[in-house]
Structure 1
Amino acid sequence: MEEILSKTIQDQCDDTCHGTSNIDVLKEQLITDQIVGGLAEVFKALGDPTRLKIIHTLLNKELCVHDIVQVLGMGQSAISHQLRYLRNLRIVKRRKVGKTVYYSLDDEHIEQIFVQMLQHVKHS
């Protein structure tokens, strides 16, 4: 069955394929399963509306949990849980001053991803 499927696919693309040497190069350049897994986790994190709101809230300003709770109108437990999830993925980082913990985006890569996707969604 696999041989028949392979032959059918080959028959369909003979006119447009560039040969096996390009395939070999593409295979060598393929990202590892570990990197794919990491990317999938980040995109999974960005697939949650609450986490997106947190990221948007932190886009321009470092905030403590209490401030994020006030901005989003959600419970502290729920926000803390989401912040922990985002921190484990290195999407946000924390800074402790006395008993107060401040959160911000981990680096500009997260900001760039978020801003680019926001512009994409708003683009008509």
Structure 2
Amino acid sequence: MKLRSWCFLILAILTEVLATSLLKLFEGDTLGYLVVFALIGVSYYFMALSLRSIPVGVAYGMWEVLGVSCIVAIGVFFYGEILSTAQAIGLSLAILGIILVNLGHKEDHA
């Protein structure tokens, strides 16, 4: 069951990243916004499924940090956005933070 929850979390992250990335492409397109809205809904659904065995703090932290990391990478590589030094440091600290949260999480052996 635990592996399934992690797969749901990965799907939640991927659908959120896809939805957010598409916002720039669908700028001003009502049908595009509906696609984004549906993808965000799917993301929350998978997130809810992942919470069956992953603590909410760990799941939400990973969802946010990995999502932001992927969106920043997409912005840089596909949209030509520039990542400042301060942004790179902040992103690195966020990633370090989620690593520490996961390392500090005690597994429930009940």
Q: TM-score per shorter chain, which class?
A: under 0.3
Answer with 1 or 2: which has the greater Rg. 1
Using the size of structure 2 for normalisation, the TM-score is: 0.27
Structure with the higher strand share, 1 or 2: 1
Using the size of structure 1 for normalisation, the TM-score is: 0.25
Bigger RCO of structures 1 and 2 (CA < 8 A, at least 6 apart)? 2
